[in-house]
Structure 1
Amino acid sequence: MLKKSIRFPLIYFVALTVWQLIFKKDIEWIKNIGVCFIMLLFISLYNWAQKPYEWKKEK
């Protein structure tokens, strides 16, 4: 589950960093890392919420 969750934020981080390097010449590391961490948390929470809970499994 972690592999699926980390792929998109990592690609976003690399793309955002390269974009800032080319066009701004100034990379905002803290902002980039923060946004990617929040994306990772939301994607992980979404993937966790998609698993159905079996209420009557014990009975």
Structure 2
Amino acid sequence: MPTAQTGTVATTRPAFRAGRKTLVAALAPDGTPLAARPYGPAEGTTEIDGAGTLPTAARRA
């Protein structure tokens, strides 16, 4: 039987449900998602787990 791999929905869903991780997103003025990243508290600071940004939104000021 297959097991859940690290970083998959099956392994991260419990952390989101328990409040240990939060997902934030950057949106264009029209509401189109441009970037998203999960983060979670880590010893008094915030750990950024990863970030996904659309190539068309990268390096925009």
Q: TM-score, normalised by structure 2?
A: 0.25
| Relative contact order, higher structure (CA 8 A, sep 6+) | 1
Pick the structure with more strand per residue: 2
> Larger % of helix: which?
1
